[in-house]
Structure 1
Amino acid sequence: MTTELRMLRPEEWDGWFGKVELAFGGPGEAPEERSLWQELTEAERSIAAWDDGEVVGTAGAFSFGMTVPGGASVPAAGVTMVSVQPTHRRRGVLRSMMRRQLDDVRERGEALAVLTASEGAIYGRFGYGAATLEMRLEVDTVRLAPPELPGADGVRLRLADPVKALADCERVYARTVPARPGMLARQPGWERLAVLDPERDRGGKGKLQCVLAEVDGEVRGYARYAVEPRWNNEGPHGAVRLRHIVAPDPEVYVALWRYLFGIDLTSSVAVPDLPADDPVLHLVADMRRCGIRLRESAYVRPVEVGAALAARTYQRPVDVVLDVADAFCPWNEGRWRLTGDEAGAVCERTTDAPDLALSVRELGSAYLGGFTLSSLAAAGRVRELRSGALRAASVAFASDTAPWLPHGF
């Protein structure tokens, strides 16, 4: 059997997405969620692999801007909906789709591709490196006192309809985007994904709620959550299932957390995804009562090494020659001289002797500052070819703020 790759036609979306649902298992998306994914899908960026009139493979991409160290927003392809039907495994379908997609990303002038992986081992061979961590918490609100901070009492909190509050919440979210590497500037419509609340998917939780935090009449933060009621012989021990909490100002952030600690009939706040350096860990008396768990989140691939490295800034002055291996995108292969500092950077081809040797995968892992070149070298993934080059470059690549992907796609 042979497969044909081609761009998705809009009228083919329903069958194409059905194959995605089939590959990932489960009952499929609720109708309202399915409808929104159809609106958000960029058909011209979506690939279908066909065999005898049937879709056997899928891959898509969304157009984002990703914040990089220094605060710039770099055009990035958000790789999504990648699947191969079980009848066509190990026949090169995935490889051919990745090849087509990365060629297209390059033609569009996007220096980066980013994805979240259903299985972490899949994408390294295509040059993607784990670049951010997400922190999951289950905060014991019985044994821990609510956070306190001077000024938090001046924040006004009010409950709002999650859908009607979208515009206010999106303005707050937009304020946070330049401040942290990994954040996504997104197209209109994405904010609606955050408030989808199909009744069949609640799993015993109540309706989605939204609390807005205001200062001088302006919305400065928000939290979205649902309450999961639970009871035993001792009484109520419900859980607050926090979906999002966003507030650029410390006083507002504390006010929101204090509110969440005080919700009646609950004894914990469960959070699925926060930055690894989230300040809530310093707002409680005992981190051990927060049930901290870390896992990788975003995988980053430099599609154009020179453009990607020149787009970010560096914590310390850096002048290093990188010998980059990239068999899948050979235009990146070879030596690149990176010079830069906190003001900007230049990255160009060179014939000078290399200082460090690494693959594009390791470059992706270090790119946002979430993983250090030194830690990758300790794992044998980066080789120092000039004494002292590793430490200097590792410090330069670091980020003062932990990178974080704010949501999946």
Structure 2
Amino acid sequence: MTIEIRPITQGEAVEYMRVMPWVSGFPQEEPEPVAWYTGRTAFPPLVQPTAERLEQAAAGLLTDWFRPQAAFVDGKLAGGSAIVSVDITLPGGRQVPMGGLTWSGVLPTYRRRGLLRQMMGALLDDCRERGEFLAGLHASEGTIYGRYGFGTATFQHRWEVRRTDAAFRTPFTDPGTLDLVDGATAAAIWPVLHEQVRAQRVGEISPLPGRWDGLAAGALPADGSGPAHHLVHRNAAGQVDGAAIFKVPWAPDPADAGVLAVASIEALTVDAYRALWGLLLDFDLTKRVVAARRPVDEPLRWMLANPRALKLARTRDNLWLNILDVQRALEARTYAATDALALEADGRAHIWSSDSA
């Protein structure tokens, strides 16, 4: 058996995509409800791309920011992964380049042969060569990536809030305005707002190219969850300081009906945050609000008259990090006070050498 690990060529792009779980139809997540999904099933509906869609995606696959590696066994493409070039906000607010690991998959008939381990070594070497001293990922399974030097850095929550019991603790008069806008307007607002928010949020990463393109199109999602609605908050000066994307999906089961699903919400000020949630928690003809991908330090629970109205439905790891250069990582973060700090790095750790990855 001959194993080769290398970047793919354009002519291999379609075959490379076919080994990915989201294309091949194999499981992509642990068989448990995930915190980032607002539905009630363990797995979100899988919509496999057509051959035509694969060809279109493969045509634009190889870019400066998408850096794939593939595993070939006796000449056959058997697994793949990739690094995407992103920035991450460190404690203190500095933003630095990070290699984002994504699209990892090995065909079931080639598992347990060390293919992912060898691809991981090539990917992390690529990060080092480009000067990225951090590598990060969102893990599909909690037992895989620790062996390659990754550890959990942030967590996320999934909330469920009873609408009829979600009154706020103190009265609030919004100095700004709320507005429902169309997808084209939202597509222009979100890139600017997100850049402002992520500069303030430790662990936030920059969006990949095209992340907001689908908002303007306004296409109905294939999973039948209904159209997206776009809510925008402007301050007293008319400047956008918050936005939310939500759906009110139809459900055949009365137990799941009347749910308002919050896909995204970001705010620059407490006033905007309070105003957005004030409306989302008080839509007529709804009984429950579900919000996924919420940071663990959000203050909504403590704004409610009854904190128990907000149920923490799921918690899971969010961002996993691998520190490829400890000294540079520590030098890049900043602190609110000037003082002395001594740290000792465990020399036995295996995360800095691809030979032991």
TM-score (normalised: structure 2): 0.83
Cα RMSD of the aligned pairs, angstroms, is: 3.0
Q: Residue 47 and residue 93 in structure 1: after superposition, are their counterparts in 2 closer, same or farther (change >3 A)?
A: same
Q: Are 2:274 and 1:254 aligned?
A: yes
Deviation at residue 33 of structure 1 after TM alignment: 8.9
> What whole-Å deviation, never above 9, does each CA across 1:285-318 have from its counterpart, x for those lacking one?
2222211132211101101111111111246634
SS at 1:329 equivalent: coil
Map residues 218-233 of structure 1 onto 2, 5 A cutoff: 218-229=239-250
Map residues 141-152 of structure 1 onto 2, 5 A cutoff: 141-146=163-168, 150-152=172-174
Give the match for residue 86 of structure 2: 64
Q: Residue 38 and residue 279 in structure 1: after superposition, are their counterparts in 2 closer, same or farther (change >3 A)?
A: farther
Q: Residue 132 and residue 183 in structure 1: after superposition, are their counterparts in 2 closer, same or farther (change >3 A)?
A: same
Q: Residue 180 and residue 224 in structure 1: after superposition, are their counterparts in 2 closer, same or farther (change >3 A)?
A: same
Q: Distance in 1 between matches of 2:216 and 2:340?
A: 43
Q: Distance in 1 between matches of 2:79 and 2:223?
A: 30
SS at 1:185 equivalent: coil
Q: Residue 232 and residue 27 in structure 1: after superposition, are their counterparts in 2 closer, same or farther (change >3 A)?
A: closer
Gaps of 5+ in 2: 28-44
Q: Distance in 2 between matches of 1:64 and 1:88?
A: 30
Gaps of 5+ in 1: 334-359, 361-409
Q: Residue 37 and residue 295 in structure 1: after superposition, are their counterparts in 2 closer, same or farther (change >3 A)?
A: farther
Q: Are 2:42 and 1:19 aligned?
A: no
Q: Residue 209 and residue 62 in structure 1: after superposition, are their counterparts in 2 closer, same or farther (change >3 A)?
A: same
| Matched letter for residue 206 of structure 1 | G
Give the match for residue 326 of structure 1: 349
Deviation at residue 168 of structure 1 after TM alignment: 1.3
Q: Distance in 2 between matches of 1:286 and 1:41?
A: 51
Q: Distance in 1 between matches of 2:106 and 2:254?
A: 49
> What whole-Å deviation, never above 9, does each CA across 1:26-57 have from its counterpart, x for those lacking one?
74455799767975764761011122443211
Q: Are 2:234 and 1:211 aligned?
A: no
| Matched letter for residue 285 of structure 1 | A
SS at 1:55 equivalent: strand
Native 8 Å contact 1:162 1:195 kept in 2 = yes
Q: Residue 37 and residue 196 in structure 1: after superposition, are their counterparts in 2 closer, same or farther (change >3 A)?
A: farther
Q: Distance in 1 between matches of 2:105 and 2:223?
A: 26
Greater relative contact order, per chain length (Cα 8 Å cut-off, separation 6+): 2
Native 8 Å contact 1:149 1:251 kept in 2 = no
Native 8 Å contact 1:36 1:193 kept in 2 = no
Q: Residue 247 and residue 199 in structure 1: after superposition, are their counterparts in 2 closer, same or farther (change >3 A)?
A: same
Q: Residue 195 and residue 119 in structure 1: after superposition, are their counterparts in 2 closer, same or farther (change >3 A)?
A: farther
Give the match for residue 305 of structure 1: 326
SS at 1:201 equivalent: coil
Give the match for residue 123 of structure 1: 145
Flag the structure with higher strand content. 1
Deviation at residue 229 of structure 1 after TM alignment: 3.6
Q: Distance in 1 between matches of 2:168 and 2:341?
A: 47
Q: Percent identity?
A: 31
Map residues 27-38 of structure 1 onto 2, 5 A cutoff: 27-29=46-48
